[in-house]
Amino acid sequence: MSGRRRALAACLLATLICGCGRRGPRVEMVEGVVVLDGKPVEAATVFFSPVTAAGEATGLPAAGRTGPDGSFRLNAGGGATPGAGTAVGDYVVTVIKQESRPVPPPDLNAPPTALPEPEIRDLLPAVYKLATTSPLRATVKPGTNTYRFELDSKPRGSPKGDR
């Protein structure tokens, strides 16, 4: 009697557990701070781009946005939980902060033309913008990873005057 009941309970439990499989890649928590000349940078986007080593890509591309204190947490794509970080691997880190100036509304008395694009301005040195020029590197390991990225408004070896 109790054996039958136990078997029944086991069946139900097994059914429940079967429905609870979680998909998505395994990620490690990645957080950090971005500072420019020692001051925290707000509303910058931090990108982790996987480094392809010997033709084999490790890691997941990920991005994070900094808050008022310059801190960020990474979100990886590919079905990973948002805000949970990214996969173990080696990364090039790029940081971008931009602002745009909206264009004035079109003159209705002129013939129709394509609307002009607003002007986009970089607020951080351009070396940090592309993976090919960024000096920032990171290695994500199992567990919580904390980084501090110190940007310099006059980076060494910077290609001609950045804003």
Partner 1 sequence: MKRSPAFTLVELLATIAIIALLVGLLLPAVQSAREAARRARCANNIKQLGLAVLGYESSNGFLPPQGAAWEFCSLANEGLATLDVRYAEVSYLLWLMPYVEQQAIYDRGFAQELAGGVLWNGAFAEQPAILLCGSEINQGPGFRGAGCTNYRCNRGDVAAPPGRRSRGPFNEGSVRDGSGSWAPAPVQSAHIRDGLSSTVMLGESMICTPATYDTLPAGVGKLGAIDPSTAPATCWALVAGNRYSVPLSRPDFLPGSMWGRSWYDTYTSFYTNAAPNTPRCVRDYDWAAYINPVSSYHPGGAMVAMCDGSVRFVTNEIDAGDPTQPQVNNAGSTANAWSYTGASIRGVWGAMGSIRGREVVSAE
Q: Which residues bind partner 1 (CB under 8 A)?
A: 1, 4-5, 8, 11-12, 15, 43, 45-50, 61-65, 72-73, 75-79, 82-83, 94, 96, 98-100, 102, 105-106, 108-109, 111-115, 117-118, 120-121, 129-132
Minimal distance in Å, beta carbon 75 to partner 1? 4
> Is 83 in contact with 63 (CB distance < 8 Å)?
no
* Cα torsion 23, 28, 29, 30: sign: negative
Nearer to partner 1, 38 or 116 (CB): 116
- Rounded-to-integer distance, Cα 151 and Cα 133, Å: 13
> Is 133 in contact with 95 (CB distance < 8 Å)?
no
Nearer to partner 1, 21 or 38 (CB): 21
> Is 76 in contact with 86 (CB distance < 8 Å)?
yes
Minimal distance in Å, beta carbon 61 to partner 1? 5
Nearer to partner 1, 12 or 53 (CB): 12
